[in-house]
Amino acid sequence: MILVTGGAGFIGANFILDWIAAVGEPVVNLDKLTYAGNLENLAALEGDARHIFVRDDICARATVDALLAQHRPRAIVHFAAESHVDRSIHGPGEFMRTNVEGTFTLLEAARAYWGGLAGAERENFRFLHVSTDEVYGSLGPKDPPFAETNPYEPNSPYSASKAASDHLVRAWHHTYGLPVVTTNCSNNYGPFQFPEKLIPLVMANALAGKPLPIYGDGMNVRDWLYVGDHCAAIRTVLAGGRVGETYNVGGWNEMPNLTIVKTICALLDEMKPDAGGRYERLVTFVADRPGHDRRYAIDARKIERELGWRPAETFETGIRKTVRWYLEHQDWVAHVQSGAYREWVRKNYGDRE
């Protein structure tokens, strides 16, 4: 079996659903269930013995040790993190604790566990660290996309904490020989994404007739990847990635935020027309995010060359699926828009207009 951390969050839950369907191997899912963790994401696995859920913190070393001793996983796939840049600006402490100290705790537990393995078990064990393209910093308009060899230049508390965790993972390989592999992926979108991130936020606000907040001039560029493609990339890297290597994962799909928002509005006009007029009327420019990175782009040639992975979805097919999913899962959206969510919206957007 494998141990997944953060499996009740957006990408982790998609990964577990995909893993059980594609591989069928049991998963132990260690997740603290912060505001971003939601077991409803895994409702399809209720009663399925292949998914074992454990609610705890990745910083709880005794729990991690006990899980490794009891289940003897062949791999750890580490998603658990604080993941939202705006929250990291309002309160960086939790990002340092979970992303840095949590990764350190997992690495130490993995090192002790792996040190006690022998033969094929030891040979085949992997620690797969899921990271982000944001560690590379911001690109100018004409710069080539991020390659694995780009220097790390993180600019937000979030990306700095992820960069720190990447460095720890690298060091545990070089110093202790721990068989690690790291993936650095671009912006994901798809089912179960918490509506604090751009794409689900825009859908939720549009359907509620609320303003669609665009930071700055809306011309910041991100590369967008459908979450199912990211899950497939992680499976591919786990199966064949070279130990100690990093792999950039991206969608070959750079777009300015304003284009993303207008695309969603046009799809909503088509699938759920609003009597009040076109959704684009709700676009509202608001104060920019401090330190807002201008452009991210990913050169994903290494993972394609070495492991044969390429995204299956285009942005057109992926965003259409995603809009449909949100329209069909309005109950899920309503459940996650709890009191704590409303408080966050007040805090982040209250003084931007």
Name the residues that contact ligand NAD, by CB under 6 A: 5-6, 8-12, 31-34, 36-37, 57-59, 79-83, 98, 102, 130, 132, 162, 185, 187-188, 194
Give the count of alpha carbons within 13 A of 86, CB side only: 15
**CB nearer ligand NAD, residue 122 or residue 342:** 342
Of ligand NAD, ligand TYD, none, which one sits near residue 241, judging by CB under 5 to 8 A according to partner kind? none
Helix (H) or strand (E) holding 247: strand 246-249
Among 29, 188, 220, 263, binds ligand TYD (CB under 6 A): 220
> Is residue 201 part of the contact set for ligand TYD (CB under 6 A)?
yes
> Is residue 160 part of the contact set for ligand TYD (CB under 6 A)?
no
β pairing state of 51-55 and 27-31: parallel
Instruction: Determine the Cα–Cα distance for residues 47 and 59; give it in Å rounded to an integer.
Output: 28
Select the span of 27-35, 115-123, 213-221, 300-308 touching ligand TYD (CB under 6 A): 213-221
**CB nearer ligand TYD, residue 41 or residue 205:** 205
Of all residues in the shown chain, the one whose CB is closest to ligand NAD is 9
Mind telling me the catalytic residues? Answer: 133-134, 158
Among 187, 188, 246, 248, binds ligand TYD (CB under 6 A): 187
Least Å distance between CB 350 and ligand TYD? Answer: 13
Phi-psi region of 227 (alpha: psi -120 to 50; beta: other; left: phi over 0): alpha
Instruction: Determine the Cα–Cα distance for residues 178 and 234; give it in Å rounded to an integer.
Output: 18
Instruction: Determine the Cα–Cα distance for residues 173 and 127; give it in Å rounded to an integer.
Output: 10
> Is residue 215 part of the contact set for ligand TYD (CB under 6 A)?
yes
Tokens 């459908």 correspond to what residue? 226
CA dihedral 45→49→51→57, nearest 10 degrees, is 120
Of ligand NAD, ligand TYD, none, which one sits near residue 85, judging by CB under 5 to 8 A according to partner kind? ligand TYD
Among 37, 213, 250, 251, binds ligand TYD (CB under 6 A): 213
Per-position x/- string for 264-293, each x denoting binding to ligand TYD as judged by CB under 6 A, each - no binding: -------------------------x----
Q: Are 30 and 80 in contact (CB under 8 A)?
A: yes
Tokens of 78: 């580490």
Least Cα distance to 96 among 188, 198, 22, 165 occurs for: 165
Of ligand NAD, ligand TYD, none, which one sits near residue 214, judging by CB under 5 to 8 A according to partner kind? ligand TYD
3-class SS of residue 187: strand
Helix (H) or strand (E) holding 163: helix 157-176
> Is residue 85 part of the contact set for ligand TYD (CB under 6 A)?
yes
Residues within window 19-58 making contact with ligand TYD, judged by CB under 6 A: none
